[in-house]
Each structure stands twice: as C-alpha cells, then as structure tokens.
Amino acid sequence: MDIKIEEQDDFFCVCVKVDRYNSREKKKTIVNTGRVKIEMQKRGYQIGEVVQNDYINNLNGKTQGTWFFEKKVEKPLDKPVQDVIIEVEKEVKPKPVRKRRTRSSTKKVSTEE
C-alpha cells in the first residue's frame, strides 16, 4: 500500500495506491476511510472531518483512491466572560378554577299516555 499525503490550504489530500489482485497469491486488499484515518494518525497528522471519501477493493479492479480531510484546528477552550443581569421573577398566581356543573342523577321522564 503506497500512501502520498499532500498538504493544501485547509485540507490534506491523501492518495492511496495498492497492488493489483494476483490470483496466485489470493491476497485481496480493501482500503476504506477508517483505515486511511488510522494510517494518518500513525504518521502524526491531526485530521478533522472527511470532505471526500473513497473505497478501494483490488479484487474489483480499483487499485487507487483519493481522500480529502480537513486540517484539525486547535480551538480555545475558554469562552470570553459575559456580563449577566439577574432579574427577580414575579410570582405567578394560579388562575381560579371554575366549578363544573353536576348532572342530576335522575332522568326526567314524561308521563304522557
């Protein structure tokens, strides 16, 4: 596996090339984004998010690919102090609840014959 890393303005361009599949050796090579990230970290690069990813499987005939990663930028941990104004909240009284009308338990029946 041959890896070339180029630094551009805010990105790392990673070009990976693998050997073609040999049916005598029966050694297939699969390279995905996770494997490229691990190789970059082993070499000491600080990478951020993936901008462009690729997938290499030499069994299918694809033997080279290109990945683009953002450069990881150190951000300050402390935020600037802001002035805070504390206001006292007014007490909220609950709304008065209206009593519900009750239904009479006896039904009015007409006595017409």
Strand positions, DSSP E, the chain: 2-7, 11-17, 30-31, 47-52, 56-57, 64-71
Q: Which residue has the higher pLDDT, 57 or 103?
A: 57
| CA end-to-end span of the chain | 104
Residue 66: the pLDDT is: 93
Question: Quick check: 10 and 70 in contact, CB under 8 A?
Answer: yes
pTM above 0.75, yes or no: no
Strand partners, 14: 5, 67
Q: Which residue has the higher pLDDT, 31 or 106?
A: 31
- Strand, coil or helix: 59: coil
